[in-house]
């Protein structure tokens, strides 16, 4: 396992096509969640373009079929398929897992929901953003573990966000039962969980050759993620100058980098943005619009605690 900090030739402006250039994924199988829109589409397109059998897992099957057809046309690869996945529906996750056979070389936990305005709960009573962004992916990844093991060398990319900097996981009240609901804090907590998941899974699964890392894709205005935003707030965000926005193809680059780059062989439990590793002591090391990673998101004890809590919440 590598312990030194990695660097890459890629940066803020790199696209998924830049990152995948020269990488041959023929004979590899990939699954991207939430790839019926936004960043996931360009992530799946890049993987398919390199020859990976690519499974788009989404809850809107019609949209997923349209995306798959578009990717087949643009890449010339026919090995792009779709599967139903609703991360809020345990039966749906379990069905996908049951139906999946053979090895899985690349899992990209990309699906996500942001800033749900009112407190909403999953069928099991967990706050919706945490349930979707973290718990659903936790169940999926554990279910697919035999397939990841069978790959004899797999990568898992956990798509987090710089928004994780706004909140650790509040273990005493993950579901906002005793504190006022705040959509941004709920999203931030779920995105910290995405990083902690990578830290914990990396430690548990490295011996099986499964390399797990987390990433921030960048700020991307062209996806559906802002659907819950007040249009005026969204316009303010777009024009405030607080963010330098990426295209969708640039937004997919860090996921693709984490999932495929040979430069990351043996690198696990880290956080990336702009295709660069970053750490709490050097928040802006990753260049343009980089914000770094919170110490609490990489904390191994918190990662273990989240794992135990997630097993309990998922049982
Ligand atoms: N855009 C940004 O600026 C930004 C910044 C930082 C991090 N991210 C992260 O990047 C990832 C991709 O986001 P995006 O910007 O591409 O937004 P997006 O276009 O909304 O993509 C998110 C996808 O997740 C799916 N999803 C939501 N709830 C689901 C559920 N219960 N089961 C299955 N799929 C579900 C959505 O499907 P439906 O259409 O069916 O809801 C959608 O296709 C997310 O994890 C997000 O947190 C984005």
**Domain for residue 8, yes or no?**
no
CA distances from 312 to 48, 177, 296, 299 (A): 36, 17, 21, 20
Q: What share of the chain is helix, strand, coil (3-state, %, to 5)?
A: 45, 15, 40
Report how many domains make up the chain: 1
Assign residue 247 the CATH number of its domain: 3.40.50.720
**Domain for residue 267, yes or no?**
yes
**Domain for residue 9, yes or no?**
no
Residue 30 has pLDDT above 90, yes or no: yes
Determine the atom of ligand 1 nearest the C-alpha atom of 114.
47
Residue 2 has pLDDT above 70, yes or no: no
User: pTM of the full predicted structure?
Assistant: 0.97
The alpha carbon of 38 is separated from its chain's Cα centroid by a whole number of angstroms, namely 12
**Domain for residue 10, yes or no?**
no
Output the pLDDT for position 1: 62
Ligand 1 center to 105 CA (angstroms): 22
**Domain for residue 2, yes or no?**
no
Determine the atom of ligand 1 nearest the C-alpha atom of 222.
1
pLDDT, tens digit (0-9, with 9 covering 90-100), for 175-197: 999 999 999 999 999 999 999 99
In this prediction, residue 124 has a pLDDT band, given cuts at 50, 70 and 90, of very high
Ligand 1 center to 213 CA (angstroms): 18
pLDDT mean over 93-113: 98
Give the HSE-up count for residue 235: Cα atoms under 13 Å, Cβ half-sphere: 3
pLDDT, tens digit (0-9, with 9 covering 90-100), for 253-308: 999 999 999 999 999 999 999 999 998 988 898 999 999 999 999 999 999 999 99
Q: Whose CA is nearest to atom 33 of ligand 1?
A: 86
Sequential DSSP letters for 51-120: T-EEEEEES-HHHHHHHHHHHHHHH----EEEEE--TT-HHHHHHHHHH--S---EEEE-------SS--
Q: 209 is in which domain, residue-wise?
A: 16-310
Separation between Cα atoms, residue 80 and residue 45, nearest integer Å? 9
Residues annotated as part of the active site: 187
CA distances from 47 to 1, 212, 224, 234 (A): 25, 17, 21, 31
């Amino acid at each position: 396992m590598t312990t030194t900090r990695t660097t890459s030739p890629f940066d803020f402006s790199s696209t998924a096509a830049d990152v995948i250039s020269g990488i041959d994924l023929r004979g590899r199988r990939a699954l991207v969640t939430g790839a019926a829109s936004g960043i996931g589409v360009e992530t799946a397109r890049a993987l398919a373009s390199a020859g990976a059998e690519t499974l788009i897992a989404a809850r809107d099957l019609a949209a997923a079929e349209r995306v798959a057809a578009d990717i087949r046309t643009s890449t010339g690869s026919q090995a792009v398929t779709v599967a139903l996945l609703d991360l809020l529906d345990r039966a749906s996750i379990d069905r996908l897992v049951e139906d999946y056979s053979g090895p899985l070389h690349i899992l990209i936990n990309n699906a996500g929901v942001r800033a749900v305005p009112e407190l909403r709960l999953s069928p099991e009573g967990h706050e919706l953003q945490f349930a979707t962004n973290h718990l659903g992916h936790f169940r999926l990844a554990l279910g697919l573990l035999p397939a990841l093991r069978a790959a004899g060398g797999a990568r898992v990319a956990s798509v987090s966000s710089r928004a994780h900097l706004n909140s650790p996981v509040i273990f005493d009240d993950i579901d906002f039962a005793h504190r006022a609901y705040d959509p941004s804090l709920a999203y931030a907590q779920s995105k910290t969980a995405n990083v902690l998941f990578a830290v914990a899974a990396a430690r548990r699964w490295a011996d099986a050759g499964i390399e797990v890392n987390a990433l921030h894709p960048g700020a991307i205005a062209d996806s559906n993620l802002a659907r819950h935003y007040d249009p005026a707030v969204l316009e303010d965000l777009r024009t405030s100058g607080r963010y330098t926005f990426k295209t969708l193809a640039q937004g997919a680059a860090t996921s693709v980098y984490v999932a495929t780059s040979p430069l990351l062989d043996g690198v696990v439990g880290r956080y990336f943005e702009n295709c660069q590793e970053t750490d709490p002591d050097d928040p802006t090391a990753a260049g343009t619009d980089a914000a770094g990673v919170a110490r609490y998101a990489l904390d191994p004890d918190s990662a273990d605690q989240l794992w135990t809590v997630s097993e309990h919440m998922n049982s």
